[in-house]
Amino acid sequence: MGVFISYIFLGLSLAAPLGPINAAQINQGIKNGFFHSWLIGLGSIVAELFFIIAVFFGVVHFLEIPFMKTFLWSFGAFVLFYTGIESIVSSEKLQINQNRKKESLKKTFTTGFLISISNPLSILFWLGIYGSVLANTINRYDNFHLILYGVAMLVGLMLWDLTMAGVSSSFRRFLTQRTLKGISVFTGLVLCGFGLYFGIQAIKILFYI
């Protein structure tokens, strides 16, 4: 049980640093409330589950191909730019009115999934982190325990997801409409910034810089 809890804390620590998903969660939380923010994180967790399975079965070696790296960086840049620009543009229409039309839950979940599944940093991150977990435990535990510890990490991610959704959706109640728009623009710029970084990485691989 102690090891299981330690991996939950590992999952929490992995989710905490500011990245595209956290920025998107904050953006959705202040604009649309708890469930939209939570679904961004849930979509990300589903994508990360794919990464864990891929690492477990050794599929990640396929991602070392330069073409795949270029494609992932480019697709990730597109998703982040699109999400960021959409956040900036929609900030002009942002209203505190709770009765206004919100984005569909399906679209919100898909956005979180695409941001995470198209993020090469997440792929490399899980390759390093979960790969290390496998290397550390594969000789001491059976497959059941390996899966169990992977689940523990996902539980930690889910706890952080709920925390971010709760904080961002609660915080919006104390903000003015002008401040909400400012935060929406800021988080949009953060996403575009990550998109620019991804695009530069794609160009470097493409031209062997």
**What is residue 77's predicted lDDT score, i.e. its pLDDT?**
84
pLDDT tens readout for residues 27-58: 888 878 888 899 998 998 898 888 877 777 76
**What is residue 127's predicted lDDT score, i.e. its pLDDT?**
66
Whether 96 has a pLDDT exceeding 60, the answer reads no
In this structure, the number of other CB atoms found within 10 A of the CB of residue 60 comes to 17
**Structure tokens given for 18:** 């500011």
Work out the average pLDDT over 145-168.
82
Q: What is the mean pLDDT of the chain?
A: 77
Dist. CA 47–CA 109, nearest whole Å:
11
**What is residue 113's predicted lDDT score, i.e. its pLDDT?**
92
Pick from 110, 98, 103, 117: nearest CA to 39: 110
Dist. CA 201–CA 76, nearest whole Å:
11
In this structure, the number of other CB atoms found within 10 A of the CB of residue 16 comes to 13
pLDDT tens readout for residues 185-200: 887 888 888 889 888 8
DSSP state of 100: S
Whether 115 has a pLDDT exceeding 80, the answer reads yes
